[in-house]
Amino acid sequence: MKVIEGLGLTQNAVKVLEKRYLKKNEEGKIVETPHELFQRVAKSIAAADLNYGKSHEEVEALTEAFYEMMTSLYFLPNSPTLMNAGRRLGQLSACFVLPVEDSMESIFEAVKNAAIIHKSGGGTGFSFSRLRPNGDVVGSTKGISSGPVSFMTVFDTATEAVKQGGTRRGANMGLLRIDHPDILSFITCKENNTKFNNFNISVGLTEDFIDAVEEDKEYSLINPRTQKVSQKLKAREVFDLIVNHAWKNGEPGIVFLDRVNASNPTPKLGEIESTNPCGEQPLLPYESCNLGSINLAQMVKGNEVDWKRLSDTVRKSVHFLDNVIDVNKYPIKKIEEMTKANRKIGLGIMGWADMLLQLQMPYNSDMALKLADEVMCFIQTEGKNASSALAEERGVFPNYSQSFYAGKQKMRNATVTTIAPTGTLSIIAGCSSSIEPLFAVSYVRTVMEGTKLIEVNPQFERVAKELGFLNRELMEQIAEKGSIREFKEIPEDAKKIFVTAHDISPMEHIAMQAAFQKHVDNAVSKTVNFSHDATTKDVEEVYLLAYKLGCKGVTVYRDGSRENQVLSTGNTKAEERANFMERRQKIVPRKRPEMIKGSTRLMKTGCGHLYITINEDEKGQLFELFTHMGKAGGCASSQAEAIGRLVSLAFRSNIELEEVVKQLKSISCHQPSWVDGGRIHSCSDAIAKAIEKYSSNGSDDTKGNGNGNKDTINIMLIGACPECGGPVEHEGGCAVCHNCGFTKCG
């Protein structure tokens, strides 16, 4: 990887900064350098020290220390802080939880507040466990309740509307307790990947439920309105339903609610009922939390952990994150009050796999588990000491007397540590993500105009060069596989050290998560990867092991489980199918004449500008269609070209235009766009609308909202990145593109 002079940033890191973080003017032109971004953030956050009696000279020195810590890539704060610190919006937190009480007023207040938070760049978590179940009586009207799953649709639609407004995409966590009467419909609500695409969903499991599963007993469903038992279910059957759906498409995840509340630092203020979208940050209603991550790849000196540098970085990071709470411009007053009352921060890590590579420790080894325990225990201890020192200087958090710290240890922050996904942050830092293993030793990155570059892990490249097996052909072959375990020319010692996510068993993933969770105040976000041929029994064993080892939640993903979903438009009549087969045997495409004419139309899609050229023959019949993506390269461009070729074949084979349009129109993708009040669902939909406009010369039926089939629903498919065509990986309970920094979770 080529490193940008002065900051140690790779070209990919600069690309991500330019696309997502650097300031732009009204014309969309970048008006800030990476140097200036880090200066802006450091100056804004350090300024909080003025509130605590520090001089301007001391604040200037702190600004320099924060700047050096970030530009050295020792530590980076969460994305909203990098984006918004020192700017007008000024919203710096990543994680929020909002209450949803059992009333229309509370439900729609939560919808409104969520929209405000999403607009400001945050993600929201909700527990729907307080809502009365489907079919229950509504006292004020004597009507019937539609239940939590129905109301989730309102939240999902509102999030989609905010996303269409062009802001940073919103993300939600929806959680329902296992003992809610509507739990079965909740578990299955994302069964076909066509609903709730702005939600991650998790089931809140209780210890009573786990006991009932292990003893193969029934458990009770409790109506939250009456607090009475509504029915009993066999725990094993419900657990199997969760497992089967997680095996099918990764959802729902699970959260061990009793365990989360056992470490709730302020139990007198209420129970924790939900988490942020990726599950690592349990919060009380109206709480927010700002996060940051230490880059462990930079904490190695020679063949050892640089404990001195790590200690210094932890203490500065805690100081930084505590200052964020004061500088932050909160989107809602209640959130400001609750956040400042508990002052939760979440210091985590990234570059764990890189640290292991430098120390030549296999990720899936007892040595690595032991080091994980030592490193996180050290960070937790140093972090608590730093928070305690701030409490001596600035005072304890206001709800300290309501906390389990009261009378034991003075603390500035109710929580100190969290391990979150670090998708875009790890790209900026040029390191591996969070505590995840390598996603690939070598991979293909597509850059401008479709040029493909082979990216090789720097540590692997060094070892390959030293051992004499570095060559482009081998790197290309590895990029196709991702893993090196099948290559005979690579020494066994290297294979043991350079393992990737799919070289590691699910049990080993959970063991690593548990090793870190022992020393984390909040929770650990991590994806447990399964091979495509994994069984539901494998998923079940991981869930039970996670509970046994002390994890607070689990997210699983079976390779390829979402990649081959299709959108069905209904059954085709047998007679129509037979007629089509008969016609197909007689079709001979027309030959292309020497001269042809047509026009090119610009269609704005979620993947970029799509230029669609439609040509007709001398008889005025549509003959061929070509596409060109304004954003060249990637999967979107090749898909559009393929559609163009097939449409051209259909034109030349005298297929009715209406049939061509009908097949393409309203196909949905993960990145729709709005143009002149109308919606373009996908590149396929854009091509269909361009054909309509060409053939009708812009008649009224092709103008207006352009919605096509309004019942078509967006689908987030895991596979190619919607923005650059690169591979999208499941990481830390989220979906991340390491090529451009796209993340499903925002």
3-state per-residue secondary structure call for 170-201: CCEEEEEECCCCCHHHHHCCCCCCCCCCCEEE
633 and 494 both lie in a single domain: no
- Whether 281 is in a domain gets the answer no
Alpha helices by DSSP H, 482-598: 492-497, 506-517, 536-549, 574-584
490 and 597 both lie in a single domain: no
Residue 456 confidence (pLDDT): 85
696 and 589 both lie in a single domain: yes
Residue 584 confidence (pLDDT): 40
Residue 722 confidence (pLDDT): 61
Alpha helices by DSSP H, 585-741: 634-652, 657-664, 683-696
- Whether 592 is in a domain gets the answer yes
581 and 495 both lie in a single domain: no
- Whether 677 is in a domain gets the answer yes
- CATH number of the domain residue 194 falls in: 3.20.70.20
485 and 617 both lie in a single domain: no
- 344 CB-near residues (< 8 Å, 6+ apart): 265, 283, 287, 289, 413, 414, 415, 522
Last-in-domain residue among 499, 517, 532: 499
625 and 495 both lie in a single domain: no
Last-in-domain residue among 450, 468, 499: 499
- Whether 251 is in a domain gets the answer yes
Using an 8 Å Cβ cutoff, are 625 and 644 in contact?
Answer: yes
Residue 580 confidence (pLDDT): 36
457 and 579 both lie in a single domain: no
How many residues does the structure list for the chain? 746
- Whether 329 is in a domain gets the answer no
DSSP 3-state assignment of 412?
coil
Question: Would you please indicate which residues are annotated as catalytic (active-site) residues?
Answer: 276, 278, 280
491 and 596 both lie in a single domain: no
101 and 211 both lie in a single domain: yes
Number of domains in the chain: 3
Structural domain span for residue 260: 95-275
- Whether 715 is in a domain gets the answer no
Beta bridge partners of 205: 256
Residue 138 confidence (pLDDT): 83
Mark the ranges of the chain whose per-residue pLDDT is less than 70. 1-6, 140-142, 164-169, 445-452, 563-588, 630-634, 674-678, 697-727, 730, 732-733, 738-739, 744-746
Alpha helices by DSSP H, 328-431: 333-342, 352-358, 366-394, 423-429
| Cα gap 504→528, rounded to integer Å | 9
- Whether 401 is in a domain gets the answer no
Last-in-domain residue among 243, 260, 275: 275
- 37 CB-near residues (< 8 Å, 6+ apart): 17, 21, 22, 23, 82
583 and 495 both lie in a single domain: no
Q: Token match 């956040």: residue?
A: 339
Q: Full-prediction pTM beyond 0.75?
A: yes
Residue 590 confidence (pLDDT): 78
- Whether 723 is in a domain gets the answer no
| Cα gap 415→548, rounded to integer Å | 24
120 and 238 both lie in a single domain: yes
262 and 132 both lie in a single domain: yes
**Residue range 531-581, pLDDT digits in tens:** 889 999 999 999 999 999 999 999 999 987 875 332 222 333 344 334 434
Residue 725 confidence (pLDDT): 57
Residue 626 confidence (pLDDT): 86
Select from 164, 80, 148 the least CA-distant residue to 115: 164
Residue 308 confidence (pLDDT): 98
- Tell me the two tokens of residue 289: 């939390």
Distance in Å from the first CA to the final CA of the chain:
26
User: Strand 608-616's sheet: what is its strand order?
Assistant: 597-605, 608-616, 622-629
Using an 8 Å Cβ cutoff, are 416 and 384 in contact?
Answer: yes
